[in-house]
Amino acid sequence: MPFIPHTADDVREMLAAIGAPDIQALFDEIPAELRARALDAIPPALSEMEIGRLMSERAAADGQRLNFIGAGAYEHHVPAAVWAIVTRGEFYSAYTPYQAEASQGTLQLLYEFQSMMASLTGMAASNASLYDGATALAEACLMAVRAHRKSKSQRILVPAAVNPDYRAVLQAIAGGQQLAFELLPYDPRGGVTTPASLEKYRGEDITALVIQQPNFFGNLEDVDALTDWAHAAGMLVIAVVNPMSLAVLKPPGEWGAKGADIVCGEGQPLGVPLSSGGPYFGFMTTRMEHVRQMPGRIVGRTVDLDGKPGFTLTLQAREQHIRRSKATSNICTNQGLLVTAATIYMSLVGPQGLAKIASTCIQRTAELVAALGNVPGVRVAFNGPRFHEAVLLLDRPVRGVLEALAARGIVGGLDISGEYPSLGNALLVCATETRTPADIATYARALAEVMQSAAAA
Amino acid sequence: MSNVPADLRFLKSHEWARLEADGTITVGISDHAQQALGDLVFVETPEAGRRVAAGEACAVVESVKAASDVYSPVGGEVVAGNADLGGQPELINQDPYGAGWIMRIRPDDKSQFAALLDAKAYEAALAAETH
């Protein structure tokens, strides 16, 4: 579809037709004090040549560091074919197409994406994506309140082992809508949420329990026991999952006796590069009984007047252009381009490829933990099963160690001492399939040097 | 022309209400409303036991064109939602004043029912709306 902008003549004709002297006059009814003033903090415009130079310099400042941070965003190999296909003109729009008659290709792709996510999470229905993983969790909590009509409390249990950034976003988005979040402690030995910690809520009106698998520490929660406990207590279960892990872990639709009710998470691991923190995309799937409460666009397969199969947006009556303030969500941004990448990525690697990548991640994480855990002054915090990442405890503040590693070209992990003070000097490290045994050896050697020199100092 | 039974009471927002022998009030949407909405695809009825105020949105009717709230004509306690609508929302299109009822409410104050529009007043409201 070509984009044809208005010419100056078009604009003049349109203004003449409605009797407005200029475009500015169209905004006259907005009081002056409500209008945005000039953006003084924005520097003057640069030419293409100047901006190209500036961006190359900024990118060069990042360098080619060896990265061992995960914490919600993961460095995976993205086959070159993925973005070569995504950037084709036919796909290159970030927005959901409303016009089924002009957008069958994109709609079919979104439909395939939904089918893949439903299958990966073990749920009946998927939307066409959300803004990112953290906002998807906030949307899932709001959805749980709408879906769980017997529960009046709007109270939701959130383990401390859920990504702290997600918890902050949850508070920012849903806290202002009268949802109350109760923090559940984690077991200091296992680094997981235990059903025992839930006992004090038995008999109370709680809308939902959030379970992140793997949790922020990389540990695997006992999802079956937690899910069954929550269902027995009359709560819904919201699963937050890393889609890559689902190639080897039990899908949330099979957790416990009944499975999770709403599943959400960050889609970035599926073909989206790290790219300085975004853009990423969120996903959400659910049981059929809750599908009308699910926010966001849903593409459905149907037949046209002649009985030929086709794709179109469906269940739109729930959305803001019809339901106004009562819509299921007013942030149903569809991250179309990133979803296109994820769909192509999953198609290229296939179910077996995805399982192989996930298994390699587990293998590399085990190697990393073994290598770093042997360094004097370092011990491994938790010893249960894990995926992707692990918490290390250092005998000194993490920050200085990370700075010394950075000087050696290594991004050594995320300092989580501030978020989890009771852990002490805690460092969250991650290895995906992109970290080779040689990379891991390089990190272990560098860490040993840093720990030794600082100890001597 | 839509059907406006003489024995029912109405709201301007197109709900109907019928006082039953047991003192409860059955609520649905009018023939005019179902025609305007078109084919219904989903109905969300309130849970039994829920307290509602007069004028409170307590059910949702969703058609291929739009989703609309259904307002309670009286304050009271919901005695039942029509469970048949879960699998057959089209009952509202087929029989809006019978099998397509949406909820039954036990009113706190029966005088609220008496104050609703009668068929004549509702017909006048419909006429005013279409002109």
pLDDT digits (tens, 9 = 90+) for B39-64: 999 999 998 999 999 999 999 999 88
Domain parsing of chain A, residue ranges: 81-344, 350-456
Residue A231 C-alpha, separation from nearest chain B C-alpha, in angstroms: 20
What's the rounded Cα separation, in Å, for the pair A420 and A139? 26
Residue A316 C-alpha, separation from nearest chain B C-alpha, in angstroms: 8
Q: Is A290 on the interface with B (CB under 8 A)?
A: no
Note the pLDDT tens digit of each residue in A117-166. 999 999 999 999 999 999 999 999 999 999 998 888 999 999 999 999 99
Q: How confident is the model at residue B1 (pLDDT cuts 50, 70, 90)?
A: low
Lowest mean pLDDT among A101-115, A183-197, A331-345, B68-82: A331-345
Checking if the pLDDT of A196 tops 80, the result is yes
pLDDT reported for residue A9: 93
Residue A244 structure tokens = 């890559």
The arrangement of strands across the sheet holding A389-394 comes to A378-380, A389-394, A426-430, A414-415
pLDDT reported for residue A94: 56
Q: Which fold has domain A81-344?
A: Aspartate Aminotransferase; domain 2 (3.40.640)
Residue A396 structure tokens = 């000194």
**Residue ranges in A19-95 assigned as alpha helix (H):** 48-62, 80-86
Q: How confident is the model at residue A325 (pLDDT cuts 50, 70, 90)?
A: confident
pLDDT reported for residue A275: 83
The answer to whether the CB atoms of A150 and B47 lie below 8 A apart is: yes
Note the pLDDT tens digit of each residue in A295-323. 988 999 999 899 999 999 888 777 777 77
What's the rounded Cα separation, in Å, for the pair A241 and A162? 10
pLDDT reported for residue A156: 97
Q: Which of B42, B47, B67 sits opposite A149 (nearest CB)?
A: B47
Residue B67 C-alpha, separation from nearest chain A C-alpha, in angstroms: 5
Which residue from B minimizes the CA distance to A146? Answer: B44
Which residue from B minimizes the CA distance to A319? Answer: B67
The answer to whether the CB atoms of A292 and B65 lie below 8 A apart is: no
pLDDT reported for residue B126: 93
* Beta-bridge partner residues of A210: A238
Q: Is B109 on the interface with A (CB under 8 A)?
A: no
Q: What is the mean pLDDT of residues A186-202?
A: 92
Burial A187-217 (b: 16+ CB within 10 A, else e): eeebbbbbeebbeebeeeebbbbbbbbbbbb
Write the single-letter amino acid at B76: G
Note the pLDDT tens digit of each residue in B8-45. 999 999 999 999 999 999 999 999 999 999 999 999 99
Q: Is A25 on the interface with B (CB under 8 A)?
A: no
Checking if the pLDDT of A47 tops 80, the result is yes
Residue A285 structure tokens = 């799937």
What percent of chain A stands above pLDDT 70?
96
Checking if the pLDDT of A35 tops 50, the result is yes
**Which chain A residues are Cβ-neighbours of B78 within 8 angstroms?**
none
Write the single-letter amino acid at A68: F
Checking if the pLDDT of A457 tops 70, the result is no
What's the rounded Cα separation, in Å, for the pair B50 and B77? 6
pLDDT reported for residue A456: 47
Give the Å distances, CA to CA, from B58 to A155, A329, B53, B102, B104: 22, 19, 9, 10, 12
Q: What is the mean pLDDT of residues A420-425?
A: 96
Checking if the pLDDT of A331 tops 70, the result is no
Phi first, then psi: give them for residue A118, nearest 5 degrees: -65, -40
pLDDT reported for residue B83: 94
Checking if the pLDDT of A90 tops 90, the result is no
The answer to whether the CB atoms of B67 and A149 lie below 8 A apart is: no
Considering chain A, what is the average pLDDT of its residues? 92
Q: Report the candidate in B109, B40, B102 with the shortest Cα–Cα distance to residue B76.
A: B109
A350-456: CATH, from 3.40.50.300, 2.60.40.1120, 3.90.1150.10, 3.40.50.1260: 3.90.1150.10
Taken as a whole, chain A contains a residue count of 457
Q: Report the candidate in A71, A96, A77 with the shortest Cα–Cα distance to residue A420.
A: A71
Give the Å distances, CA to CA, from A294 to A17, A144, A250, A318, A391: 43, 9, 23, 9, 35
pLDDT reported for residue A328: 78
Q: What is the mean pLDDT of residues A224-228?
A: 97
Residues 6+ apart with CB under 8 A from A383: none
pLDDT reported for residue A319: 76
The CATH number of domain B9-117 is 2.40.50.100: yes
Q: How confident is the model at residue A96 (pLDDT cuts 50, 70, 90)?
A: low
Domain parsing of chain B, residue ranges: 9-117
